[in-house]
Amino acid sequence: GKGLAVLTSGGDSQGMNAAVRAVVRMGIYLGCKVYFIREGYQGMVDGGDNIQDANWASVSSIIHRGGTVIGSARCADFRKREGRLKAAYNLVNRGITNLVVIGGDGSLTGANLFRLEWSSLLDELAQNGKITPEQKQKYGVLHIAGMVGSIDNDFCGTDMTIGTDSALHRIIEAIDAIVSTAYSHQRTFIMEVMGRHCGYLPVVTGVISEADYVFCPESPPPYDWPEKLCNNYLAVVTALTSEADYVFIPEDPVPNDWQISLCEKLAQERSAGQRLNIIIVAEGAIDRDGKPITAEDVKKVVVEKLQQDTRITVLGHVQRGGNPSAFDRVLGCRMGAEAVLALMEATPDSVPCVVSLDGNQAIRVPLMECVERTKAVAQAMAEKNWELAVKLRGTS
Ligand code: ATP
């Protein structure tokens, strides 16, 4: 059977195990010889025990576990040709020419480079007598397929990355817990959620938690955000009940002045009577000059200008931990199976794909096109072109 290996790379996320399990079992079902590569690219470079035979039973009892049971790592060696040469040797030696990479855009960029370099790596190995001419001939093409595991939903080309749904569950559990105490004491809570460069978690959290204000990286607030923020509080009058304040989603970018319209809406809501306020700050929140806005910065403004009783909760790695949601388990299963099918159908000329979710369909999209689009968002943000950043992010 064909040699097939799976690895997880970059930050872990819930649902990666479901994807690993699906790759292993679909591979076995289709007659492949399947391997795990432990500790991401580091395991591929180091070889030895890091590359292990996988069988049907070796992926039993992992689908419900968070993180990745085969380990993940960042690997400096793989960024150098020398490291990739070692990795190629370790794969050829075991007859592996099909590789499933579960990671972020960096990991997929590395996989693509490895694939492009493959034949020259094999040439070098053959010249050095490390592999035979027959091996070089037989294993001459490397096929790769990618899947994105990330709680941030930070990849252009898929509706959801594996792990995002579980992270949102963790976040809303935490906010629900805080809301009752905030309500009792009329407090303001500032919640820092993950999202280094991507506003999906903070924005969706804002929508589903009835938050009052959201700081997200792609769409920084206006320069006068402290005044804008405080005006909302000054508008507080009475206490009645209230419903959601404002809805803005990445797929439907809001106008540039959304902060102002948000504030107007907030003022109405406060006068209709909210006993608590929730402000969501992405860990990567920035102002229009690209300077970080931290939860502490926001607290300082609220406390100094309004003397509000204000607390900060940083959710941190709790968001990345715990069991995967049903959605992420299903997503991992479907994507893993599709990735193996894509590899088995690949020809030497086919463009490598990343398996993604489009509506409710697992589809294959060109890997490097998506990576380029994801990098374009980062570029737009670096150039402070917020409109473009939101637009690129929104059209997955
Ligand atoms: P996350 O979104 O969790 O950060 P990521 O896959 O983007 O995931 P990176 O740290 O960028 O995380 O990449 C993971 C690993 O992939 C790196 O440690 C390195 O081994 C490999 N890698 C990334 N970029 C490249 C590249 N340009 N060339 C070769 N290898 C790369």
Query: pLDDT tens digits for the chain (396 residues)?
Result: 899 999 999 999 999 999 999 999 999 999 999 999 999 999 999 999 999 999 999 999 999 999 999 999 999 999 999 999 999 999 999 999 999 999 999 999 999 999 999 999 999 999 999 999 999 999 999 999 999 999 999 888 899 999 999 999 999 999 889 888 888 887 778 888 887 788 888 888 877 887 877 877 777 776 666 665 544 333 222 122 222 233 322 223 333 343 444 445 545 656 667 777 787 888 888 777 777 888 888 788 777 766 677 899 999 999 999 999 999 999 999 999 999 999 999 999 999 999 999 989 999 999 999 999 989 988 988 888 878 887 887 654
- Are 335 and 326 in contact, with CB atoms under 8 Å apart? no
Q: Which of 164, 242, 245, 236 is nearest to 198 (CA)?
A: 164
Query: Considering only CA atoms, which residue is closest to atom 20 of ligand 1?
Result: 75
Give CA–CA dist 18/61, Å, rounded. 10
What residues are paired with 6 via a beta bridge? 36, 100
**Integer angstrom CA distances of residue 382 from 104, 286, 323, 370, 376:** 19, 11, 35, 19, 10
Amino acid code (one letter) for 55: N
Which residues are marked as active site? 152
Its ipTM equals 0.97
Ligand 1 pocket test, candidate residues 68, 77, 107, most atoms within 8 A of CB: 107
What are the φ/ψ torsions at residue 26 (nearest 5 degrees)?
A: -65, -40
Q: Which amino acid is at 276?
A: L
- Ligand 1 centre to CA of 250 (Å) is 25
In terms of residues, how long is the chain?
Answer: 396
Contact 9, 103 (CB under 8 A): yes
Q: Whose CA is nearest to atom 5 of ligand 1?
A: 104
User: CA 112, CA 389: separation in Å to the nearest integer?
Assistant: 25
pLDDT value of position 255 = 39
Q: Rounded to an integer, what distance in angstroms lies between the CA atom of residue 171 and that of residue 165?
A: 10
Per DSSP, the three-state class of 4 is: strand
**What is the structure's pLDDT at 243?**
28
- What pLDDT score does 107 carry? 96
Give the Cα separation of 119 and 115 in Å (integer).
Answer: 8
CA dihedral sign of residues 204, 208, 209, 210: positive
- Residue of minimum CA distance from atom 9 in ligand 1: 106
CA distance 175 to 186: 15
Residue 380: enclosing H or E segment and its boundaries?
helix 367-382
Determine phi and psi for 97, rounding to 5 degrees.
-130, 10
On whether 194 is known to bind a ligand per the annotation, the reply is: yes
Residue 270 has a pLDDT of: 61
* Ordered strands of the 188-193 beta sheet: 213-215, 277-282, 188-193, 310-314
**What is the rounded (10 degree) CA torsion for 70, 107, 252, 392?**
180
Is 109 near ligand 1, meaning CB less than 6 Å away? Answer: yes
Q: Render 144-180 in DSSP notation, one character per residue.
A: EEEEEB-TT---TT-S--BTHHHHHHHHHHHHHHHHH
Q: Is the CB of 11 under 6 A from ligand 1?
A: yes
Sign of torsion over alpha carbons 23, 24, 25, 26:
positive
Are 99 and 143 in contact, with CB atoms under 8 Å apart? yes
Q: What is the pLDDT of residue 248?
A: 29
